[in-house]
């Protein structure tokens, strides 16, 4: 460890992570504390320049405790999820040397050094746009860099998973699959890239922010209630998802938009049906969300082949995936007409709070 005279040093790492949106949804855990899912899921990672988290992690011998600020406000790190991520990363830390600055941290020193963490989401937090995914992926990635962790991305994804399940998929770009895994330790419940960002670059994703308000039921609480009460969820994870995962992998491989759109829309609708089948029912979508679905269905029917896929996470905000740029432009024009917004941009489009 650096000696007494150089106690004022501070070491910092900043990382940026994008959010990801599931096209085959994760909903339900078989292990609450390790965050092990009941089914595989597949997502698409958004462009990091749009919806993303930026996190700075700092370590200094002058810090008295671990502290974290989220969007400028201090939050408690007491929850199991933050503690689990910190513990897992600390246990894999390596030594750090910077002779010029006189900093020398031995592997075992990391246990006693405290962290200060500042994180910002450039999009609504806890509103169904996967802030927990970008947030925990970014936190774990930044900490891994700071503490010189030498694990591969798969092992890092298993740590991010312990912060928020969907976070494991945000460590990769493009299309990503989170494997349920078999091991009780969760070692094999990791994310892997199915196809890179460039594989299917005709697709354009438009996020329609219907409401940026914080949702009433967090994803964690919602899926716990569904596991306890929904019979549809039992059918979904045993009978439906395994087949859809195989079909979706094939659709992505072949860039088959018709199948991709059919599966994406069907899976979003079944996930929200599970929410309704939960007791008491959970309503993540609102009237505007329903109007958007209706509109997209009609448009796709009129065209004969699907032009746009829609999917809604645990919130009212729509994620619209257009077949290509031309379709995306037509879609934006129509959205602007039917849902006049206070402001608009191509990939992050505001429909106005309802």
Nearer to ligand DP6, 22 or 292 (CB): 22
Shortest reach from residue 200's CB to ligand DP6, in Å: 19
Cβ distance to ligand DP6 smaller for residue 144 or 313: 313
* Strands 348-350 and 20-24, bridge-based pairing: unpaired
Residue choice 55, 219, 226, 278 for contact with Co ion (CB under 5 A):
219
Residue 171 or 314 with smaller CB distance to ligand DP6: 314
- The listed partner (ligand ADP, Co ion, ligand DP6, none) that binds 22, CB under 5 to 8 Å by sort, is ligand DP6
* Burial (CB count within 10 angstroms: exposed 0-12, middle 13-18, buried 19+), residue 341: middle
The residues that bridge with 205 in the sheet, in sequence order, are: 321
The reply to whether 180 sits near Co ion by the rule CB under 5 A is no
Contact yes or no for 306/150 (Cβ under 8 A) = no
Q: How far is the CB of 26 from ligand DP6 (least distance, A)?
A: 3
| Contact region with Co ion (CB under 5 A), list: 43-51, 212-220, 243-251, 288-296 | 212-220
165 binds, among ligand ADP, ligand DP6, Co ion, none (CB under 5 to 8 A by kind): ligand DP6
Q: How far is the CB of 216 from ligand ADP (least distance, A)?
A: 10
**CB of 306 closer than 8 Å to CB of 300:** yes
Residue 67 CB, nearest approach to ligand DP6 (Å): 22
- Contacts with ligand DP6, residue ranges (CB under 6 A): 22, 25-27, 35, 41, 130, 132-133, 164-166, 219-220, 313-314
Q: Encoding tokens for residue 229?
A: 């009460």
Closest by CA position to 42, among listed 207, 264, 235 = 264
Cβ proximity of 156 and 140 under 8 Å = yes
The CB density around residue 126, as the number of other CB atoms within 10 Å, is 17
By rule CB under 5 A, what string of x and - marks binding of each residue 237-276 to Co ion? Answer: ----------------------------------------
Q: Where along the sequence are the contacts to ligand ADP (CB under 6 A)?
A: 53, 70, 119, 121, 125-133, 135-136, 139, 164, 218-219, 313-315
Could you tell which of ligand ADP, Co ion, ligand DP6, none binds residue 41, using a CB distance below 5 to 8 A set by kind? ligand DP6
Report the distance separating Cα 132 and Cα 129, nearest Å.
Answer: 9
**Residue from 343, 270, 258, 235 nearest 308 by CA:** 258
Of 19, 11, 10, 16, the closest CA to residue 119 belongs to: 16
**Cβ neighbours of residue 44 under 8 Å, at least 6 residues apart?**
20, 21, 23, 174, 175, 176, 203, 205, 321
């Amino acid at each position: 460890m650096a000696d007494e005279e150089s106690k004022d040093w501070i070491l910092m790492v900043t990382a940026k992570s994008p959010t990801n949106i599931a096209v085959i949804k994760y909903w339900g855990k078989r292990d609450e504390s390790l965050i092990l899912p009941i089914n595989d899921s597949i997502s698409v990672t958004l462009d990091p320049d749009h919806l993303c988290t930026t996190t700075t992690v700092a370590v200094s011998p002058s810090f008295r405790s671990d502290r974290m600020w989220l969007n400028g406000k201090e939050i408690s790190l007491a929850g199991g999820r933050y503690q689990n991520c910190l513990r897992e990363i600390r246990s894999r830390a390596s030594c750090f040397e910077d002779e010029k600055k006189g900093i020398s941290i031995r592997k075992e020193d990391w246990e006693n050094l405290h962290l200060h963490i500042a994180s910002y989401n450039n999009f609504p937090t806890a509103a169904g746009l996967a802030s927990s995914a970008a947030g925990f992926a970014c936190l774990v990635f930044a900490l891994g860099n700071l503490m010189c962790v030498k694990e591969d991305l798969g092992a890092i994804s298993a740590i991010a998973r312990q912060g928020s399940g969907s976070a494991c998929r945000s460590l990769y770009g493009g299309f990503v699959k989170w494997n349920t895994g078999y091991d009780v330790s969760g070692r094999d419940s990791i994310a892997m890239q199915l196809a890179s960002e460039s594989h299917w670059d005709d697709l354009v994703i438009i996020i329609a922010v219907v409401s940026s308000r914080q949702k009433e039921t967090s994803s964690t609480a919602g899926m716990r209630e569904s596991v306890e009460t929904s019979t549809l969820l039992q059918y979904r994870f045993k009978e439906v998802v395994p087949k859809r995962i195989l079909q979706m992998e094939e659709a992505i491989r072949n860039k088959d938009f018709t199948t991709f759109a059919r599966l994406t829309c069907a899976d979003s609708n079944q996930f929200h049906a599970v929410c309704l089948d939960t007791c008491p029912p959970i309503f993540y979508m609102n009237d505007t969300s329903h109007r958007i679905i209706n509109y997209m269905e009609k448009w796709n029917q009129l065209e004969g082949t699907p032009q746009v896929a829609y999917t809604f996470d645990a919130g009212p905000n729509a994620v619209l995936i257009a077949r290509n740029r031309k379709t995306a432009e037509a879609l934006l024009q129509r959205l602007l007409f039917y849902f006049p917004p206070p402001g608009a941009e191509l990939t992050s489009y505001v429909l106005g709070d309802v």
